[in-house]
Amino acid sequence: MLRYRDGDVRAFEVLVQRHRKAIFNFVLRFVRDTAVAEDMMQETFLRLVKSADAYERQAKFTTWLYTIARNLCVDQSRRQKHRRAQSLDAPVGDDDGAALIEMVADPSNMGQDRKAISRELAGKMQKAIAALPDEQREIFLLREVSDLQFNEIAEIVGVPENTVKSRMRYALEKLREALEEYRDLAQAAQS
Amino acid sequence: MSEATRVEPHTPSPCDAALDYVYGELTGEALTAFEAHMTSCARCQAEVASFGRVRSVVRAALPALDVPTASQPMGSLHTQLLAAAAQRKPPAKVLSFPSRFRKFVTQPVFAMAATFLLVAGTVTTLWKKGALTTAKQESAAPSTPAVAATPKETPAPIVALPEATTVQPELAKNQPAKAVAEPPVLATEKQHEGPQKHYKADKDDSLAALQPKLEGGRAMAPPKPAKPALARKGAVVGGDNLADMVLEGNGTSSSTASPSTGEQRYRARLEPAKEESGGKDRTVDKWQARTDAPTTVVKPPPAAPAPPPTVAEAEKAEKKKAEAPGYAGGMLNRDGVQSQSRGAKSSEPMPAQQQMASRPQGSSLGAGGGEAPAAPRHAAADQRGGVAAAPMAKPAAPQPDAANLDGKAAKREETAAAADRNVADLRKKAMDLAHQGRCNEADELFKKLEHQYPMYRRNMTETMAVTHCRTQTGQFDAAQYEIDNLKTTKTQNNEVITREQDYLNNERARRVPAMPQSATPPSAPTATPAPAPMESPSHNMSPPAPMRAGKKAKKAAPAAASDAYSN
């Protein structure tokens, strides 16, 4: 990022290639809309371009980048508060019209039964994640999808680290409760 | 939200590290301690197991997805993003100070010091440029209206003069505090310098811009440059200064009935200018006239102006004055030297009042005889005290204000006095030599006087003494030359000149027959009552006499002309 701030455009391309997938997945899990997620990813990097002059190496670049993406997600979530959430069964992007649930399980590694179980379990799991409160969901996604540490998440969200851990604990407990309903299904999928 | 209602654990518990253990954020002793704790804590074991299962399911349910095609490296969005990134202009490189220097610069003390230096520099610059002087003058402005009101107190004829010049003496009297603050100078010097300061302040103004100020009664100065020597002289002899102008314009009949040469020439020059100006304010015309001739006395026309004399009339009056009995034309004493000096600076003749003042005390014209104007005699006294027509017994006497001369004026006065003493000594010595018949030595002394004091000219007594000496010593040609000069310039009484001519003729007739007989000086001039000649006969008979006469003729002509104006 420092190189791009000093005028190296190639450095910015490297940054995009390095972080676009993680940003896209985080945003996609947050907004649950592929087109919106793509636009928000684009907006995230554009804001990076605009803010490049003010960049100071005071924090980790990833933290700064996810802060931008998270703020965009929060704004988007507020705008679509009363809109109908996109169904997990809705087509995702340009992937041949395949449903999100179908993308969760790898068909090549499963048999037809397991495929069906995995699809059902993934669908249930995504519903459970979508049902999480925003403050827990963002922390859960930043931890599980983006693989950020708790201290980094605390810096991005702007809350203490213990609060992050607490919210993460609540999110995991809720997901565990959701999985209890599908214990057998989950055990079958794991086996 | 349920987490908001629950109480956060304030004391760290080993069980709190279960989450970190699940996500692999425990390292070192913390990891070891938790593993040891987990072996004995069923709750932690159950929690870790449940969280592990959830995570495994989540990983299976939330695989990492690739970005859409549009955002791929060759996609449209990606291209747009790179184009936007390429359009960004890198910031201009700014030289960064070292951190230590930056820390010093950002100190508040440094900012205060820089501000102080900036203000001090600005004030100093303004002070040097004189911008603050203007403010100072403005602060003293309240005194100006009082000055402007004084013309009502001045005598009516003064109105003919520029108001600034008439107001200044009143200003000097009415402002004692200011007089204390400033260096002590003569009233006449204040009269010249005070307006000069005002003029310097407004020197950029045009004449048209200054005219309203003059008419408005403000103390404005004429553009005449300050001449301290003239001012001092004016104070001493009551000659050319503004007070004289005031008094001469004060309706005195002598001023109008018997104008001096300077007045006549001034009027002769001023009147056409007035006619050309279409009869506008005479003050401005006079002021302009002063601008043209700074050393000329600006004499205002009287309240009832007489018909302006022409130049021919002025010259005629001059000739009559020269022919008056006892007139010491060309006999310039100390004051005459100064007057001549002024006359030499300007082609204008010396004004009459200055001529009067420059005459030695006891002169036959000093008591007001002849055509000399009487008004200037009390000019200095009137200027100081405002007493009109007070008789002045000693016009050249030092003024009481001389004690207040500043150092510079006093030094000039001392220098002038020393020069006067030297001149007097040399003249006395030369006269003694002439009386002793040592004409050559006397001539040398007179030449020395003329050389060291360029404005010095022999007076009539000295000329007659030299002529008589040369006649006695047999320098007949030289004596004849002096007599011819006297006849030409008509600066001496005809009777005296005739008597000297007769004496020369007699001596020439008596001695010329004997000249060819001996080329050597007579060893025993028994027939000559005068002392023995100091010069050799060869010198007397040699051609150098006409040559000397020729040299003197060159000097005598301008000298005679200047004497005519200076006496």
Q: What is the pLDDT of residue A117?
A: 73
d(CA B43, CA A56) in angstroms, rounded, equals 45
Inter-chain CB proximity B62 and A104 less than 8 Å: yes
Mean pLDDT of A117-132: 81
Residues 6+ apart with CB under 8 A from A122: A101, A104, A105, B60, B61
Please report the DSSP string for A48-95 in residue order: HHHTSTT--TTS-HHHHHHHHHHHHHHHHHHHTTTSPPPPTTSB-TTS
Instruction: Tell me chain B's radius of gyration from C-alpha atoms.
Output: 49
Q: What is the pTM of this model?
A: 0.36
* B1, B66, B85 ranked by CB distance to A9: nearest: B85
Whether residue B254 is predicted with pLDDT greater than 70 in this model: the reply is no
Is the CB of residue A47 less than 8 Å away from at least one CB of chain B?
Answer: no
Nearest CA-CA partner of B171 in B240, B204, B218: B218
Return the amino acid letter for B89.
K
Mean pLDDT of B369-393: 40
Is the CB of residue A126 less than 8 Å away from at least one CB of chain B?
Answer: yes
Is the CB of residue A93 less than 8 Å away from at least one CB of chain B?
Answer: yes
Mean pLDDT of B129-150: 53
Least confident among A109-113, B293-297, B363-367: B363-367
Q: What is the pLDDT of residue A120?
A: 78
Inter-chain CB proximity B53 and A176 less than 8 Å: yes
Q: What is the pLDDT of residue B456?
A: 75
Inter-chain CB proximity A38 and B90 less than 8 Å: no
Is the CB of residue B208 less than 8 Å away from at least one CB of chain A?
Answer: no
Q: What is the pLDDT of residue B529?
A: 44
For chain B, what is the mean pLDDT? 59
Mean pLDDT of B143-170: 43
Q: What is the pLDDT of residue B121?
A: 92
pLDDT level of residue B526 (50, 70, 90 thresholds): very low
Whether residue B185 is predicted with pLDDT greater than 70 in this model: the reply is no
For residue A99, the cross-strand partners are A91
Reported as a single tens digit per residue, the pLDDT across A146-172 is 888 898 899 888 899 889 999 999 998
Inter-chain CB proximity A149 and B60 less than 8 Å: no
Residue B479 sits at φ, ψ, to 5 deg, of -65, -40
**What stretch of H or E contains A154?**
helix A150-157
pLDDT level of residue B24 (50, 70, 90 thresholds): confident
Range with top average pLDDT, A104-108, B253-257, B280-284, B324-328: A104-108
B93: burial class by Cβ within 10 Å (0-12, 13-18, 19+)? exposed
* Helix axes of B476-489 and B544-566: crossing angle, nearest 10 degrees: 20
Alpha-carbon distances of B397 from A63, B233, B236, B381, B400, rounded to whole Å: 102, 11, 7, 11, 9
d(CA A144, CA B24) in angstroms, rounded, equals 12
Token pair of B52, please?
């592990």
Residue B537: strand, helix, or coil: helix
Inter-chain CB proximity B57 and A125 less than 8 Å: yes
Is the CB of residue B53 less than 8 Å away from at least one CB of chain A?
Answer: yes
Is the CB of residue B43 less than 8 Å away from at least one CB of chain A?
Answer: no
Range with top average pLDDT, B199-203, B428-432, B539-543, B559-563: B428-432
CA–chain centroid gap for B114, Å, is: 39
Inter-chain CB proximity A121 and B65 less than 8 Å: no
* A7, A29, A46 ranked by CB distance to B84: nearest: A46
Reported as a single tens digit per residue, the pLDDT across B68-88 is 766 666 667 777 777 777 776
CA–chain centroid gap for A128, Å, is: 14
Which residues of chain B neighbour A19 with C-beta distances below 8 Å?
none
d(CA A83, CA B258) in angstroms, rounded, equals 118
Q: What is the pLDDT of residue B221?
A: 41
Inter-chain CB proximity A42 and B23 less than 8 Å: no
Chain B: nearest CA to A159, how far in angstroms?
Answer: 13
pLDDT level of residue A111 (50, 70, 90 thresholds): low
Please report the DSSP string for B426-468 in residue order: HHHHHHHHHHTT-HHHHHHHHHHHHHHSTT----HHHHHHHHH
Which residues of chain A neighbour B66 with C-beta distances below 8 Å?
21
Residue B415: strand, helix, or coil: helix
Which chain A residue has the Cα nearest residue B83?
A: A9
Inter-chain CB proximity B64 and A16 less than 8 Å: no
Residue B251 sits at φ, ψ, to 5 deg, of 75, 15
d(CA B486, CA B472) in angstroms, rounded, equals 18
Whether residue B117 is predicted with pLDDT greater than 90 in this model: the reply is yes
Residues within 8 A of B (CB atoms), A 12-41 only = 12-13, 16-17, 20-22, 24-25, 28-29, 34, 38, 41
